[in-house]
């Protein structure tokens, strides 16, 4: 077994952090490590929290953490920040807000940088979730700003997705247009201390009347993160959703669909690594990169074919 996987299994938090760095950097060791990690996965509940910038996702997660710790559950938080890959500003903000938990061994908090990760952010996030699962956390929370395709991809890797909305913000419309409504397993009306809650709630109810979700109707939960209100109800809804996944086999269905996509992703990644390795060993090929007018299609095709022929 990969030494890091062994240490993770023994709940060594530094090994956990190290493994996530390997994942972020697309280190060559990643695949062997992940294969071992996969074999020691446990049964964590993977929960995604998404929503518009400033909707209160971090505040909510912070309060949910406190609540879950009170229930004697251990929690890992992965904050994905696709919008500001270079600044680190969001990371600092999140750190201060979640600060009070830093000394608790039942909690692990990590921000993921995009850094053009090869398999994409969703890939890196999924691997990181698995590492946290192997470590033995009961719950893995993933925070992401729901603004585009990559967030939709990330939400496909979790069991339960909570969509955070705020009253009077107009974000429902935006989220609706972006096709993000469909990924919600539960709607969280955060900032329920502000006016406009009833209106938002009826908008969501109307939405559900129209789409008529099959099997699972996303519950609408109200929270006030600044006052730690609504956390018990929130977690109860999350748990019910998970039970629904088990009871109806929907969870297995989801994971099966994911498996195929994941295998394809990994194949793409392996091939890329190999072909790139070959190119980088060849000074003549590297020189071709120096010609700004070179035809990228032609280069890619001929080098890929050459690599295929070599393997024959």
Asked if 146 touches ligand GTP (CB under 6 A), the answer is no
Residue 107: closest CA among 85, 83, 132, 82: 132
**Interface region with Mg ion, contact rule CB under 5 A, candidates 51-59, 165-173, 229-237, 302-310:** 51-59
| Contact with ligand GTP (CB under 6 A) among 2, 7, 45, 57 | 57
Smallest separation (angstroms) from ligand GTP to the CB of 121: 15
Gap between the Cα atoms of 138 and 142, Å rounded? 13
Asked if 190 touches ligand GTP (CB under 6 A), the answer is yes
- Residue 293 is given by DSSP the state T
Closest CB to ligand GTP among residues 191, 241? 191
> Which residue number is nearest to Mg ion in terms of Cβ?
58
| Contact with Mg ion (CB under 5 A) among 50, 58, 74, 223 | 58
Q: Which residues contact 109 (CB under 8 A, 6 or more apart)?
A: 76, 77, 79, 94, 95, 98, 101, 102
Smallest separation (angstroms) from ligand GTP to the CB of 162: 12
Long-range contacts of 244-247 (CB under 8 A, 24+ apart): 244/215, 244/216, 245/159, 245/160
Measured in whole angstroms, the distance separating CA 255 from the mean position of its chain's CA atoms is 15
**Interface region with Mg ion, contact rule CB under 5 A, candidates 35-43, 57-65, 173-181, 293-301:** 57-65
Q: DSSP labels for 235-263? A: HHHHHHHHHHHHHHSHHHHHHHHHHHHHH
Smallest separation (angstroms) from Mg ion to the CB of 271: 36
Asked if 262 touches ligand GTP (CB under 6 A), the answer is no
| Contact with ligand GTP (CB under 6 A) among 50, 128, 222, 225 | 225
Which CA distances in Å does 275 have to 266, 286, 287, 298, 308? 14, 13, 16, 15, 9
Smallest separation (angstroms) from ligand GTP to the CB of 79: 8
Q: What angle separates helix 30-39 from helix 13-24, to the nearest 10 degrees?
A: 130
**Interface region with Mg ion, contact rule CB under 5 A, candidates 2-10, 22-30, 56-64, 66-74:** 56-64
Asked if 194 touches ligand GTP (CB under 6 A), the answer is yes
Closest CB to ligand GTP among residues 84, 257? 84
Gap between the Cα atoms of 173 and 144, Å rounded? 19
Closest CB to ligand GTP among residues 167, 218? 167
Asked if 196 touches ligand GTP (CB under 6 A), the answer is no
Q: List residues binding Mg ion (CB under 5 A).
A: 57-58
């Amino acid at each position: 077994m990969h030494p890091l996987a062994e240490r993770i299994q023994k709940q060594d938090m530094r090994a956990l952090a190290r493994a996530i760095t390997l994942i972020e950097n697309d280190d060559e060791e990643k695949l062997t490590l992940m294969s071992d990690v996969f074999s020691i996965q446990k049964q964590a509940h993977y929960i995604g929290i998404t929503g518009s910038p400033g909707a209160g996702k971090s505040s909510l997660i912070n309060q949910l953490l406190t609540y879950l710790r009170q229930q004697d559950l251990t929690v890992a938080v992965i904050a994905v920040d696709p919008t500001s890959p270079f600044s680190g500003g969001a990371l600092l903000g999140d750190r201060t807000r979640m600060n009070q938990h830093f000394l608790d061994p039942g909690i692990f908090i990590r921000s993921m940088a995009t850094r053009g990760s090869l398999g994409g952010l969703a890939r890196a996030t999924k691997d990181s979730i698995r590492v946290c699962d192997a470590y033995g956390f009961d719950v893995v929370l993933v925070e992401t700003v729901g603004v585009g395709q990559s967030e939709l991809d990330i939400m496909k890797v979790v069991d339960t997705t909570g969509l955070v909305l705020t009253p009077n913000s107009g974000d429902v419309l935006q989220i609706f247009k972006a096709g993000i409504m469909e990924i919600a397993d539960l709607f969280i009306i955060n900032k329920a201390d502000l006016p406009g809650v009833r209106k938002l709630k009826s908008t969501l109810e109307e939405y559900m009347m129209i789409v008529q979700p099959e099997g699972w109707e996303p519950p609408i939960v109200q929270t006030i993160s600044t006052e730690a209100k609504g956390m018990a109800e929130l977690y109860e809804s999350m748990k019910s959703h998970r039970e629904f996944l088990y009871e109806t086999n929907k969870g297995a269905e989801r994971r099966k669909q994911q498996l195929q996509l994941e295998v394809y992703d990994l194949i793409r990644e392996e091939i890329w690594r190999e072909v790139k390795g070959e190119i980088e060993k060849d000074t003549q090929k590297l020189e071709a990169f120096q010609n700004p007018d070179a035809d990228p299609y032609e280069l890619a095709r001929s080098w890929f074919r050459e690599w295929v022929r070599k393997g024959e």
